[in-house]
A and B are shown apart, each in its own frame.
Chain A
Amino acid sequence: MGIIRSRLFVLVPAIGLAIVFLAETAVAAGRSEPWQMWFQPAASPVMERIIEFHNFIFIIEVLIVVLVLVLMGYIIIRFNAKSNPVPSKTTHNTILEVAWTAVPLLLVIIIAVPSLKLLYYADRIEEGEMTLKVIGNQWYWSYEYPDHGAFAFDSIIIEDENLEPGQPRLLSVDNSVVLPAETNIRLLFTSADVIHNWAVPSLGLKLDAVPGRVNESWVRINSEGDYYGMCSELCGVNHGFMPVHIKAVSKADFAAWVEQAKQEFAGENSNAGVRVAKADTRVR
């Protein structure tokens, strides 16, 4: 804390910019960096495409803002009462009006095409190699592995005072969800109580867990590592305290972990999805 506060005295924008470049080159971050201004590095094909699409529309956005600012700046200098004491009476210019209707329309179409491609690409896959079921609870996530003997477990935040060195605050959980890298994974979401949202920024994942419904998405994690996220739909008192921690491992390690997990979580699988929310009111 003290260290963080003392950084205050350093030039804020300079640091910010430096970090952007750092963040772009950072290896296997899986979570945000200090002063980060951009996306977390992509760790899935969906996120790669999101960033690619964004790079494209971002140029258009910047051009529009710059155009308007430059026009405004020019107008303010050129047409202020001192430099232009007699106002013109022009109130129409058909060509101009058609142009500024048609050009935005064209831009919109240019944006819509790749946008819809991305939408359908991110939506779902025909065949997953395995399925993970994600269940939202107030205020923790449960995971079920239906293709691996349907064992299940809860994943609960680690309180600040119990953190071990290296575990990021508010992102670490007792049982992280282990998944194989380089595997097409089908994801199913539901909730045992209110609406939650399972989100992992570096993987481009975000979908509501809605009680009484099953939502579907998919992910392919490019490489092994730790990927973090947080609940992204207001779900009550401890909404800020139900993180997601994915540990992506090799296929072999995943198989080994499955065997061990089957033993460890043997007692839990019967009721994971249907358990009613525990009234776990954290008081700090």
Chain B
Amino acid sequence: MANEATAAHGSHDHHPHGWRRWLYSTNHKDIGTMYIILSIVAAIIGGAMSVLIRLELMYPGIQFITDFQFYNVLVTGHAFLMVFFVVMPAMFGGFGNWFVPLMIGAPDMAFPRMNNISFWLVAAALVLLLISAFTQGGPGTGWTVYPPLSNVEYHPGPAVDLGILSLHLAGASSILGAINLIVTIFNMRAPGMTMHRMPLFVWSILVTAFLLLLAIPVLAGGLTMLLTDRNFGTSFFETSGGGDPILWQHLFWFFGHPEVYIIIIPGFGIISQVISTFSKKPIFGYLGMAYAMVFIGFVGFVVWAHHMYTAGLDADTRAYFVAATLVIAVPTGVKIFSWLATMWGGSLEFPAPMLFACGFIFLFVMGGVTGVALANSGMDLAWHDTYFVVAHFHYVMAIAAVLSIFAGFYYWIGKMSGRQYPKTLAKIHFWMFFIGVNVLFFPQHFLGMAGMPRRIPDYPDNYWGWNYVSSIGALITSISTVLFLFIVWRTFAAGDKVPANQWGEGATTLEWTVDSPAPFHTHEVLPDMTVQAPAE
């Protein structure tokens, strides 16, 4: 099971220095760090875009974005950045790289060089995306890129092509990363670290990796067809040539729905580790938790057309998708109740990571119940493409994912940097962020109920009130984000040193057995897990 050769090889701790250490890196920790830095950079850009949108929508009438194509590009760019370059790199690339090997007792990833190319592909993709946004008007298609709008007649110029190439690179990166993590998890576990003993974070990354492996190729196929429609005269998505624009929607959402689980499932994993640690108890219903993720991943592939209820699908098709979508509520409920049951009877501490975990549960439940409501095709007649949907998905996936990233950050930054984050500031950060996002997104439910469509730069005057409140929330959120950047700086500049296990008896997973900061090479002698209790 474990790779003896790798373990035997590296007792000497020489490693490259300077730019070589990073550019040529094959070290899972360094690559994980680079992913996290890339994620923070992209978050600043993508976050700034969303603040511009909210400032434009603060009052009725056009405020300062007079070019509506630019407005659409902001919406599109914000979504692509947040999904592909903030959340995925942070959770899957960043924490996945850093902590999967540490948690399963492996010295590194299975394919260290492939790990390197995965990172640099996503870095290149980020550059391409930014170039795309500033090329001849940019892609104003929304992140769904529906043809014919995304076709060459309505988006001439290379912006959409550059966007497609960017997604191709990001997709290739994800596929390689997924293969790497799957092989690592299946083959490099320490002796005694059976599948059913793996920490839930590792399970979450494993499920996510399979989702990526199966979903991204479908997106890539669709994108390639769009590319040839645009440039080489094919007409896969053009009715006049025997194609069908709805075909794109099926392909896109076959990828797109699993994608939202790709975003949130690693978050499940992080939250499970954090809650177990600070309850000082193993996870309640460990197997149920692991297989709930597997089940969610599975069903996630057969519900895609709930995004297409108003596209004109026939009633029987929609009836199936209603039923299938509702079923996902069941494993989701299992997860929420198991987290609560883990806390039940525990001896709870509430440092910053635990606060973010509790915030996560609230947001996820809120977004979950609106999701169950949206699953009904009939309700979509009222809600499809309104701000209700925007509120729903920011609650259930976007902001919930960000909360879990913050939880993971505060939980592991001691291990990654060897330094203690400023505790009080981190709590203030939580409260500001939590209040900010709720003021930001809760009123959007009301806007959607009242019928306000999404993706519009101006709105009828009667929608003003809650838009104003929402924009105030965006400002609170962005101030809290500046505070976070300050906290990061403070941690590195003046943080105290932390011991190997800074969280005490609740932290039972293997990453807490190595020094802080984790040395360049870890688990060179494989930990023997054969006699230990499950590391849940």
A residues near B, CB below 8 A?
1, 4-5, 7-8, 12, 15-16, 31-40, 46-47, 49-50, 53-54, 57-58, 60-61, 64-65, 68-69, 71-72, 75-76, 79-81, 84-93, 96-97, 100-101, 103-105, 107-108, 111-112, 115-116, 118-124, 138, 160, 168-171, 189, 193-195, 197, 199, 201-202, 204-208, 210-213, 215, 228-241, 282-284
Contacts A36-B446, A230-B453 known; A108 to B330 CB distance under 8 Å? Answer: yes
* Per-residue interface assignment for chain B, residues 327 to 344, with 1 indicating a CB less than 8 Å from any chain A CB and 0 otherwise: 101100110110011011
For residue B240, which residues in chain A have a CB less than 8 angstroms away from its CB?
Answer: 212
A135 to chain B, nearest CB (A): 15
A73 to chain B, nearest CB (A): 10
Provide the bound-state CA to CA distance between A184 and B302, in Å: 36
A-B contact pairs, 27 of them (CB 8 A): A35-B446, A39-B382, A47-B382, A57-B379, A64-B368, A75-B340, A75-B348, A79-B347, A84-B345, A88-B346, A96-B341, A97-B288, A115-B375, A124-B315, A194-B148, A194-B149, A197-B385, A199-B385, A201-B450, A201-B451, A210-B245, A210-B246, A230-B456, A234-B144, A237-B68, A240-B456, A240-B459
- Is residue B353 contacting chain A, with contact meaning CB distance below 8 A? no
Provide the bound-state CA to CA distance between A57 and B343, in Å: 29
Q: Within the complex, which residue of A1, A118, A284 is in contact with B376, where a contact is CB–CB below 8 Å?
A: A118
Q: Is B345 a contact of A72 with CB atoms below 8 Å?
A: no
- Is residue B72 contacting chain A, with contact meaning CB distance below 8 A? yes
B374 to chain A, nearest CB (A): 10
Q: Is B245 a contact of A101 with CB atoms below 8 Å?
A: no
Q: Is B450 a contact of A40 with CB atoms below 8 Å?
A: yes
For residue A7, which residues in chain B have a CB less than 8 angstroms away from its CB?
Answer: 465
For residue B322, which residues in chain A have a CB less than 8 angstroms away from its CB?
Answer: 112, 115-116, 119
Q: Is A68 a contact of B365 with CB atoms below 8 Å?
A: yes
Q: Is B451 a contact of A229 with CB atoms below 8 Å?
A: yes
Q: Within the complex, which residue of A101, A171, A241 is in contact with B334, where a contact is CB–CB below 8 Å?
A: A101
Provide the bound-state CA to CA distance between A38 and B288, in Å: 38
Contacts A32-B460, A108-B330, A199-B385 known; A234 to B72 CB distance under 8 Å? Answer: yes
Q: Is A201 a contact of B382 with CB atoms below 8 Å?
A: yes
- Is residue B284 contacting chain A, with contact meaning CB distance below 8 A? yes
B268 to chain A, nearest CB (A): 16
Shortest Cβ distance from B345 into A: residue: A88
- Is residue B378 contacting chain A, with contact meaning CB distance below 8 A? yes
B residues near A, CB below 8 A?
59-62, 66, 68-69, 72, 140-142, 144, 146, 148-149, 153-154, 238-240, 244-246, 279-286, 288, 310-312, 315, 318-319, 322-323, 326-327, 329-330, 333-334, 336-337, 340-341, 343-350, 358, 361-362, 365-366, 368-370, 372-373, 375-382, 384-386, 446, 449-453, 455-466, 468-469, 536
Q: Within the complex, which residue of B281, B453, B462 is in contact with A34, where a contact is CB–CB below 8 Å?
A: B462
